[in-house]
Amino acid sequence: MKIPVLISSRRLQDKVKQLARQISRDYRHRTPLIICILNGAFVFMADLIRNLTIPAECDFIRLSSYGKTTKSSGRIKVVMDIESSVKGKDIIIIDDIIDTGLTTRFLVNRLKRAKPRSIKICALLDKPARRVVPVKIDYPGFTVPNKFVVGYGIDYREQYRQLKYVGYLSQYRKV
Ligand code: IMP
Ligand code: MG
């Protein structure tokens, strides 16, 4: 299936550099703990951290919300937790796309209980049309329309993560 382009590889790379510059400036005297939400954010995370000019720690968490469908279940589970201690740290959450906002809210609330010094959110894509709970994205990439997007780490049923661009599925089977 041919996947139409929504955001080209060039635009993604420009945005990643811009976000990395902003983060490097804002955290210049700190060493943030950057937490990547797996699996979707791994490509974005990898590009982002290589453009930082400050020291940073990285960790990974895997949450399940969608399962294998394109509809959010609203139930979120920690499938794989971070190993780092969060207490007193400056946390930056790296997400691929914020849709209903339920996953982000769950993670922020969970991390807050571990008493970090600060928590900020960096999300490559924002799909505001489907928001259920408000989320303040401190470092936003692009706003996308209410389409199912794939590529640059983001999947549909584990496919299309390897695309260099962000595209969308013009048709998919709603489950
Ligand atoms: P939320 O809890 O509804 O905000 O869901 C966020 C997660 O759902 C994202 O991190 C993605 O993994 C997944 N998701 C939301 N929208 C899309 C999409 O258009 N394509 C692929 N995955 C999506
Ligand atoms: Mg995700």
The verdict on whether 99 is a catalytic residue reads yes
What are the Cα distances from residue 122, in Å, to 3, 4, 64, 135?
A: 26, 25, 19, 11
Cβ 78 vs Cβ 61: under 8 Å: yes
Choosing from 90, 96, 99, 126, the catalytic residue is: 99
pLDDT of residue 71: 57
Q: Whole-model pTM?
A: 0.93
Q: pLDDT tens string for the chain (175 positions)?
A: 799 999 999 999 999 999 999 999 999 999 999 999 999 999 999 999 999 999 999 999 999 865 545 555 568 999 999 999 999 999 999 999 999 999 999 999 999 999 999 999 999 999 999 999 999 999 999 999 999 999 999 999 999 999 999 999 987 655 4
Q: Which residue has the CA at smallest separation from atom 9 of ligand 1?
A: 97
